[in-house]
């Protein structure tokens, strides 16, 4: 009976994390759709003048525009990297709620950018703080999710419950 309960809890937890990843990718895509429909390419709308703008640009490469060209290869590399990360870290994050959430958030961000690569051949970026290259919500999710994984790894609690 105890194993059946644990299996059910694990399935519910996996479903919740899958929904979290889908929600992150969905929110990213909704914001990108708004940017595409309301901000002309190359235009910038100040939100906090001189500090934060919404700027419609695209990134045909990977991080910071590196690796231009080979669009299908980039999309394939992104998908394979996400799957490899998920498989490689599975035992590390399996019992830690923070690590599991981090993986879900990262996967949602990776999914949001992968959707762009498959649809457009590039990623739509819009968050512009004027001191850093323009980025998007999916990028934020990847960094935040990675931060969650890093935190649990540094704390040495990746295998413990409640971290």
Taking the C-alpha atoms of residue 60 and residue 4, their distance in angstroms, rounded to an integer, is 47
The closest of 57, 56, 55, 78 to 67, measured between CA atoms, is: 78
The active-site residue out of 28, 116, 128, 139 is 139
Q: What is the 3-state secondary structure (H, E, C) of 25-73?
A: HHHHHHHHHHHHHHCCCCCEEEEECCCEEEEEEEECCCHHHCCCCCHHH
The closest of 105, 94, 98 to 28, measured between CA atoms, is: 105
- Based on the residue annotation, tell me whether 125 is a catalytic residue of this protein: yes
The active-site residue out of 28, 116, 125, 128 is 125
- Based on the residue annotation, tell me whether 139 is a catalytic residue of this protein: yes
Annotated active-site positions, please?
125, 139
């Amino acid at each position: 009976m105890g194993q059946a309960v644990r299996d059910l809890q694990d399935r519910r937890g996996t479903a919740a994390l899958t929904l979290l990843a889908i929600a992150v990718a969905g929110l990213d895509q909704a914001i990108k759709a708004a940017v595409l429909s309301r901000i002309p390419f190359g235009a910038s709308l100040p939100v906090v003048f001189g500090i934060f703008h919404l700027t419609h640009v695209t990134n045909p490469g990977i991080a910071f525009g590196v690796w231009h060209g080979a669009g299908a290869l980039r999309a394939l590399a992104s998908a394979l990297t996400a799957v490899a990360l998920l498989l490689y870290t599975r035992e590390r994050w399996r019992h830690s709620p923070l690590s599991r959430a981090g993986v879900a958030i990262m996967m949602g961000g990776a999914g949001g950018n992968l959707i762009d690569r498959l649809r457009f051949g590039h990623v739509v970026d819009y968050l512009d703080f004027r001191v850093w290259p323009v980025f998007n919500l999916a990028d934020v999710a990847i960094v935040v999710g990675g931060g969650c994984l890093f935190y649990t790894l540094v704390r040495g609690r990746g295998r413990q419950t409640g971290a």
